[in-house]
Structure 1
């Protein structure tokens, strides 16, 4: 079904139909809301929305050794790219041109920033280690919390890429030890509230830059000592580690996967990987996870702790505006759709206008059918809000309901015979015709076993292999008698009307027919007019059974008595005997 033809897929802007689904798209300068239907301004923020906690780079020193960890409390994304590389991001990028995150658009919170964000990019190397994220033990985590903190820096967005793939350079021998390369990108949003009377906006930015640079300098030392960790959901993970020796026949799963029935299975949506238990754990109420293989769950925008266990997307979080209502972010508190507008879906930020100056019967209207139109359209029609008239659905569309303002496009390559169709069954497959040259083949009227469409012409050309005859088996033909031979099936040597004709009919035959072609090649035409339609011809199950018995006569007895009576009537077997004997004789 073309969902975009059903009220534009309920999309705020554009709608693109895809195989089995559809996508809403937004114009330049806007982005798709989490509900995947509404478009909101790229830079628009929600004042009432509680800001998500920011990521934090924390460093400490103990025994002369620096160690750092990156805390990722929200908006995290873990993407394993290969066995020895992965990408990790925390937070939401301030710069709109960055599209590292692949999840649904996150609701932006309003902050009083001082200019563009501060950006820093750093490269690191870890020797004798591979980019495998592994959880640390609880004991080691407790030790790190006791160490005095030397550097701490809140960052808005971090993107970390770790790659330990071996890359040989020309003219050089590859190193004997593993070397992992880490590229880290930081974004720091400077807020005006961090300033004071003695420090203006330039002073605030300079302090923030120095603080970030100092933290990165300490981070470099900790990475060289393999003392850098990332924190998710109360667990710390090593960024890279020394290759561990595994026992034979022991399956070791990657991070984000759990062992189930002896196989590594990626944690699905609605769950996250728990490093302590090495299991996939369902998201708690008030959180969700819309991607696979993640290390934490995201907090629901509603912030009310409601929703279901194992929520797979924001729409399962709870606290959304009910149909007929809307809000700035799609969550409570909500407003009722005013008179003249309606909204059939939950969690929306807009209401659709009736158009043409029409009003609804009441507030909180759910569909266009609640709009007080000047005429009531019957099925097969749609209401035009400009002319205030009912228009028949064009050919290729249908509408089964009363009082709608759209028609539904026929699915796939189907179309209707006439305008004003009221049901999807009126959509018929128009495809037919072709070339056949193998030892066996099947032809059928278009849209079989449904009624064939009107105004259709199908041509088949049969060219068998050398020294072969053409045996034709027609299980059944349904052509309406009322058309006075308006629908006809013709089989002859070529397209020329004067060529040798093997078979021609415009009648219904419910019993099977078998005959051999009078020529070595066969041209078959099926043509219908604008009158009545019928079922047509073909039945693959029956034809397969017939050819099965022809090739292996003993298989006749494997069919049940009711089947043999229906598929192999005595009159047909008697008719077929002479045809088959002629068919099997050498061709002279």
Structure 2
């Protein structure tokens, strides 16, 4: 039974105590209560409520007022109609919370997130594309950024593997590179070779007999050096009617080749891994040419191949100096450097060196009874020596010019003259929209017009920035204007056809043979007695093999069976007679591979430094190979400890931990273990090493494979051990998805590691830069911990 204080009376409910005046009113004979009485009772009850008792009944914040308690809610909550309860506001329901991509409601707040390939800016609302191409080591060769993603491309002669890596293509493994005879693979390219007694055809694939002259060859492709005398001044002119190659090495250096080398002469300078070839000439029908190198010096001049002034190029009476020097091929290399004059205050003097390599043809038709072959050769040598002597005088007086496509060029210019051209583009370039643009393939730079000119029909140009177009192997003038390569010259035999010189008229490949390329002089046999369905076949797939091989196999024409591609090779197509060798140093896990993606680099990746570094699984970010075993050792300098961040790791658990990454003090299984996993975790984690040194091992089996990992680390001063551990063990570091993305961001991790490894580098970053790099919540978390560590008693 309930009871009340003497000043109170028991309510009719048998539980509540009320003042005696209120009890009297309740016992009144009137059924209705006056408004004044009710108001009086409510006021008295409000006066009884206080925040000191049960927080005034409020969910969150309680405040005592003259009229009683007042409840309120923090930001992110709203007060309910009962005036007591607080309910979380779902900010994501209104305008998506202001988020660009994703909005996730949290207790009392919300969090914006971004799609993969984007990052959240410091306003914590806006998503910005991650420019992966701005990171180091994203792609081996070419990186193309796109919204939310990126793409890696490889230079010509290389192919992509492991998502971002480029490996040299072994063209010789693909039907012998389509070479008629031998094939030699090179970095980024390949070369066809011919046996003794034959030479390479202009198509760089077929071999033709030595001494056999193709009917359409042009003898006018040879260079011609002439020297004359105007008064007391010697002047020399090198004419380059065709086959000119201009390679600017730098601003004040270039290489220029002119003419066609003889059969046993050197090939033209290489550019982008390709050789310009020997051309179609027939000079190999006689003896080997004479070769000689000479070096010339030009004082107070820079190596600029510039068009000669028209006024200076006007014809004047000349006295010929050279008559019998048949220079057919010449390579010039001009290089400028500054030479310090004696005396401290003396200015540097510009000096240019011109290195010339000559090839002189021996005209055996000049031999006679009084002067046989040796005599003719000796005369040619004497003529070359005289030419070099005259050329030296003309170069010293800057009277040596090169004529290309009707324009005469100065080999080098005096410094004062070179200054006149400042602000203009280099030779082979034109000004477009205030930028220097190199003349592209299918065009050449005309020094006379100062612009890029389209190659006329019957010529082609497959390189950039050249000063002339090369003549097509045929002399009929067919083909496209602006031809980018020899295949656009026109008149060539189509795939499935051939002729003695590769040009029309052509005949179809006979039954049992095929030819996949244009302009060839023969066809490949199917082999093994196989026939084709029709004449004019263009691939081995047209050969009537006895079985049809699936991808991952090749047809053996001896046994007439399909053979699985061996380890280290692959074949993506049906009905082929070869397997393709994996690019670079990659290999496959098993035989019978069908795609280049099965080719994997077996090398254990990473860079280990005293202060920062990283380890990565083989072939990362492509799938790691089977049966891999990698071991790394991290040994920091004295008084330094190791911090490791695992942004994400992909190890399939389906094969019962057959692939595992372990970090411990030493190779001993009983040594202190810092980290071990055999699973996939896309959530990052940071931790400090439990030992001063780390032995790290990664092993994979023959089961499933995955992307693997790239794990960065930093070594820091052991005086900061307590602070670092306090940070990495705080759950708030990983609770926010935005914080997790920081540990995955290569640029931000690099900035953090830079400061951890060398604290003085902290002053490189301004407060504004820090705010622009990291979200406020992350800075607040770190600031509180650093302040507590540096000022523990404040």
> Could you tell me the TM-score, scaled by structure 2's length?
0.55
Of 183, 187, 205, 2:360 maps to: 187
| Corresponding residue of 1:234 | 406
Question: Does the CA contact (< 8 Å) of 1:47 and 1:110 recur in 2?
Answer: no
1:24 and 2:191 aligned: yes
Question: Does the CA contact (< 8 Å) of 1:433 and 1:459 recur in 2?
Answer: no
Question: Does the CA contact (< 8 Å) of 1:94 and 1:189 recur in 2?
Answer: no
Measured against aligned partners, the alpha-carbon deviations of 1:79-129 in whole angstroms (never above 9, x if no partner) come to 67898887766533446245566652244455897x648969899999999
Of 409, 418, 421, 2:581 maps to: 409
Question: Does the CA contact (< 8 Å) of 2:429 and 2:436 recur in 1?
Answer: yes
| Corresponding residue of 2:176 | 8
Question: Secondary structure of 2:220's partner?
Answer: coil
Gaps (5+ residues) in structure 2? 1-158, 160-168, 340-348, 715-723, 746-776
Of 386, 392, 397, 2:569 maps to: 397
Q: CA RMSD in A?
A: 5.7
Assess, with a 3 A threshold, how the Cα gap between structure 1 residues 470 and 352 changes in structure 2: closer, same or farther. Answer: same
Residue pairs, 1:85-484, within 5 angstroms: 90-94=258-262, 96-99=264-267, 104-110=276-282, 116=287, 135-138=307-310, 143-144=315-316, 155=326, 157=328, 159=330, 187-188=360-361, 190=363, 230-237=402-409, 245=417, 250-251=422-423, 269-290=441-462, 294-432=466-604, 442-463=614-635, 479-480=651-652, 482-484=654-656
C-alpha separation between the residues in 2 aligned to 1:493 and 1:127?
A: 65
Question: Secondary structure of 2:534's partner?
Answer: coil
C-alpha separation between the residues in 2 aligned to 1:394 and 1:422?
A: 11
Assess, with a 3 A threshold, how the Cα gap between structure 1 residues 296 and 152 changes in structure 2: closer, same or farther. Answer: farther
Measured against aligned partners, the alpha-carbon deviations of 1:548-582 in whole angstroms (never above 9, x if no partner) come to x8599999899669979x99xxxxx9xxx9xxx9x
Instruction: Please report how far the alpha carbon of residue 407 of structure 1 lies from its aligned counterpart in structure 2 after TM superposition.
Output: 1.7
Measured against aligned partners, the alpha-carbon deviations of 1:48-81 in whole angstroms (never above 9, x if no partner) come to 4454366566788999999775544233455678
Assess, with a 3 A threshold, how the Cα gap between structure 1 residues 558 and 313 changes in structure 2: closer, same or farther. Answer: farther
C-alpha separation between the residues in 2 aligned to 1:461 and 1:25?
A: 46
Decide which moves more: 75-84 or 354-363. Answer: 75-84
Assess, with a 3 A threshold, how the Cα gap between structure 1 residues 184 and 129 changes in structure 2: closer, same or farther. Answer: farther
C-alpha separation between the residues in 2 aligned to 1:302 and 1:151?
A: 32
Instruction: Please report how far the alpha carbon of residue 271 of structure 1 lies from its aligned counterpart in structure 2 after TM superposition.
Output: 3.5
> Could you tell me the TM-score, scaled by structure 1's length?
0.71
C-alpha separation between the residues in 1 aligned to 2:611 and 2:681?
A: 26
Question: Does the CA contact (< 8 Å) of 2:733 and 2:740 recur in 1?
Answer: no
Question: Does the CA contact (< 8 Å) of 1:340 and 1:358 recur in 2?
Answer: yes
Question: Does the CA contact (< 8 Å) of 1:435 and 1:461 recur in 2?
Answer: no
Gaps (5+ residues) in structure 1? 169-175, 568-572
| Corresponding residue of 1:52 | 220
Measured against aligned partners, the alpha-carbon deviations of 1:164-213 in whole angstroms (never above 9, x if no partner) come to 98999xxxxxxx99999997957355476x99xxx989699999999999
| Corresponding residue of 1:533 | 704
Assess, with a 3 A threshold, how the Cα gap between structure 1 residues 434 and 206 changes in structure 2: closer, same or farther. Answer: closer
| Corresponding residue of 1:570 | none
Measured against aligned partners, the alpha-carbon deviations of 1:277-312 in whole angstroms (never above 9, x if no partner) come to 233433223222345554432221123334344434
Assess, with a 3 A threshold, how the Cα gap between structure 1 residues 129 and 188 changes in structure 2: closer, same or farther. Answer: farther
| Corresponding residue of 1:172 | none
Q: Which has the larger radius of gyration?
A: 2
C-alpha separation between the residues in 1 aligned to 2:519 and 2:545?
A: 27
Instruction: Please report how far the alpha carbon of residue 46 of structure 1 lies from its aligned counterpart in structure 2 after TM superposition.
Output: 0.9
Measured against aligned partners, the alpha-carbon deviations of 1:412-468 in whole angstroms (never above 9, x if no partner) come to 443322221222333334333778675666545444555443323333444455556
Aligned length: 556
Instruction: Please report how far the alpha carbon of residue 533 of structure 1 lies from its aligned counterpart in structure 2 after TM superposition.
Output: 0.6
Decide which moves more: 406-415 or 517-526. Answer: 517-526
Question: Does the CA contact (< 8 Å) of 1:453 and 1:533 recur in 2?
Answer: no
Question: Does the CA contact (< 8 Å) of 2:512 and 2:530 recur in 1?
Answer: yes
Q: Which has the higher contact order (CA 8 A, sep 6+)?
A: 1
Instruction: Please report how far the alpha carbon of residue 321 of structure 1 lies from its aligned counterpart in structure 2 after TM superposition.
Output: 2.3
Decide which moves more: 95-104 or 123-132. Answer: 123-132
Question: Does the CA contact (< 8 Å) of 2:223 and 2:260 recur in 1?
Answer: no
Assess, with a 3 A threshold, how the Cα gap between structure 1 residues 122 and 250 changes in structure 2: closer, same or farther. Answer: closer
Assess, with a 3 A threshold, how the Cα gap between structure 1 residues 10 and 56 changes in structure 2: closer, same or farther. Answer: closer
